[in-house]
Chains A and B, each alone.
Chain A
């Protein structure tokens, strides 16, 4: 187990007896502190976001100006184009959305929000990151081997992905599958911790319905992940066998069935959407409650809805396969389940909007991100209805309409949700307040270009433009001036959005260096992480002053109280006299 910090006044107490362990940077490599592991996941994820963003820049430039020498990359061949879109998707989902939202914030927040000194299994937690780190190296290496990176789309449908003679990337595709498989193993290890920590390490007094929603949602997401990933992990191993030792699980020429892979993939792939969605929704509701000073509308409704969404998410996968050659009768069943899942998701959106009602809303940077999440995710949600209706999906399947739709879900999740969480917990994580003015510039210069990128892509999709084609001007019907203007507009907006990210990094650097020192509870929020130092010491609280919980997490603006917030650890009689002097 973790050795707790002995003395809060000396924040580096654990250094004194660290001399039997690794020293210097190795200490971070082998740290079992959930906060250090969270940072490792976060910075790896952010680095990979830059890699994925660079790929988007290269292929968007190619689409806007076909044949151009893309600055920083060069001319894009069809094979390179396919590899870029494949790895952009793979990296953004498995190496950005999951490590940042689920692993980084899950690791950082769960122990702090349930009042524990660390995860239940700190060494498994460390192993989880180390496996993830290896998987990162594997996926990056796969881009530089002979033949280039895997280029069969992030869904990796065989026989293209299984047979080297077809994909022409023998090494790249095998490394891709190994990388993704290792990444799954890392998250299985991480998920064990999230679930057990919530179950076993809650602060005294914290009942199931006193747990903050973001913790609930991360844990439900982990359960979804662990239940859905098994079949795909088996499928990935079968795919590696197909690629390397000549089995034929997915190769019809050898008696296999390519559709089997699609079922295994999407049985995981659709719950996976909710695996990354739920942590983002949790982050957003925490922020909305804090900055509108409101109790969450129907806390229990939210939890039941989330669980219902999770269960239902296991029965919608074949809506990705309506026209893949499955029995057409099956499409009817999956149209029903797919449209039904709009009910709980719509309900969550209604709850979020209802929470704003009667609030006292302050538009800080984190609140702007949280509200933008709701506004933009609604677009992603409603456009999904077009695709869930099998009749309309005949036309929309694999067009840019689909692409724009899922970017309107994944961008709010992985980018907007992450920035919301990052700006909200930055004072806690780094002990400094962020610059609000720079934060708002960054917000608007990200949100506006985001919409300018993807709204034209909806139109292109309705115009019949399919995905993953490296030069649309070769298609006569798609080679119109209006369409090309839209492609150029989207690419231009992408350049603006990518450039705006420098504001964010500058803000992090500047605020981290010279921002005002963050108090324990800068936002006057209720949850437990705000009751310890910023940043929290090793062990999170003084071992003799571990928090005790008296109420739920959202008691804002309770009538007849002077303060408009009521921290979870404050006894009914009023705040305990603080002994250690800070605030």
Chain B
């Protein structure tokens, strides 16, 4: 059975969207499975449909058949495909369960990359990196805005929060997406497998500047990442401010639209 799933775990979509996390290929495999199954049904249904339309065009002297679809022989043409659809549904459900379980329910223990806090607010992402000691909420945490730095091939947990409205943390190349809800912390995980810079999009409409709530994720190899951590570890408050580089568009937009409300206070 495993070999069957392996067959689908290939980077077919790479020209369109890169495969850059450990579970991206699982999702792509599921998508391929669905594509093959429904593609088959789609082609058969449309084929028969068009064939009937051409074959049974009105001609002089030919009268339509009188078929009411109540005798068993005729009903078979509905019941057999119907059962087949049900069977294929079960196949898709089983594979989908596996993928869903791996990504959303099975949190890997002791992530070697640590925990990263992701905070969505109107209209920027704040990332709290654990810093050199690998622990969150210690003085060496590195705060960045709209820039997430991770090391390739390490497993990370993330704690997703929002301060004002709903946001959704989406990194398409990782096939990750999770809504952020104010007042809650949602935990998930990812493991990047490809170095480079990729888009983070906000996938849940969050107001005026939703379209520019853009961030980038920098997946770095071990040395580059270590250098980045060292350069940005806040020895003083000044160093911390230096690491904060808001995207210029978001900042100007926010200025245009008036101050965005922060925190949980009194609305």
Contact = CB atoms under 8 A, between A and B. Distances in A.
Interface of A: 78-79, 81-82, 151-153, 157-160, 163, 165-168, 251-254, 258-259, 292-301, 323-325, 328-329, 331-332, 335-336, 339-340, 342-343, 346-347, 349-351, 353-354, 356-363, 371, 374-375, 378-379, 382-383, 385-386, 389-392, 394-395, 397-399, 459, 462-464, 466-471, 474-478, 556-559, 564
Contacts of B17: 462-464
Interface stretch (B65-73, B108-116, B226-234): B65-73
B148 interface: no
B203 interface: yes
Contacts, number: 309
Main DSSP-derived SS at the B contact region: mixed
B168 interface: yes
B10 interface: no
Given A361-B53, A391-B99, A385 B92 contact: yes
Contacts of B205: 82, 152-153, 157, 160, 467-468
Interface residues of B, number: 99
A349 B186 CA distance: 41
Nearest to B50: A375
11 contacts: A298-B75, A299-B69, A371-B49, A375-B49, A389-B96, A391-B26, A391-B98, A395-B177, A468-B205, A477-B173, A558-B66
B46 A378 contact: yes
A168 B16 contact: no
Given A298-B75, A323-B168, A328-B100, A165 B67 contact: no
Contact of B13 (A79, A462, A557): A462
Contacts of B64: 292-294, 358-360, 556-557, 564
Given A301-B69, A476-B216, A168 B104 contact: no
B164 interface: yes
B81 A557 contact: no
A547 B214 CA distance: 65
A159 B182 contact: yes
B255 to A, nearest CB: 13
Given A166-B122, A343-B82, A159 B69 contact: no
Contact of B82 (A79, A323, A350, A474): A350
B267 A389 contact: no
Most buried by A among B53, B197, B264: B53
Contacts of A166: 122, 164-165, 207, 261, 267
A394 B103 contact: yes
B261 A165 contact: yes
B82 A356 contact: no
Contacts of A564: 63-64
B206 A394 contact: no
Nearest to B41: A382
B16 A391 contact: no
Contacts of B49: 353, 356, 371, 374-375, 378
A398 B170 CA distance: 10
Contact of B30 (A258, A294, A332, A392): A392
A485 to B, nearest CB: 14
B65 to A, nearest CB: 3
A551 to B, nearest CB: 12
Contacts of B46: 375, 378
Contacts of A395: 27, 31, 172, 175, 177
A358 B103 contact: no
B31 to A, nearest CB: 5
Given A79-B208, A82-B207, A324-B181, 12 more contacts: A157-B166, A332-B100, A335-B97, A340-B86, A357-B67, A358-B65, A359-B56, A360-B62, A389-B95, A391-B98, A392-B96, A477-B173
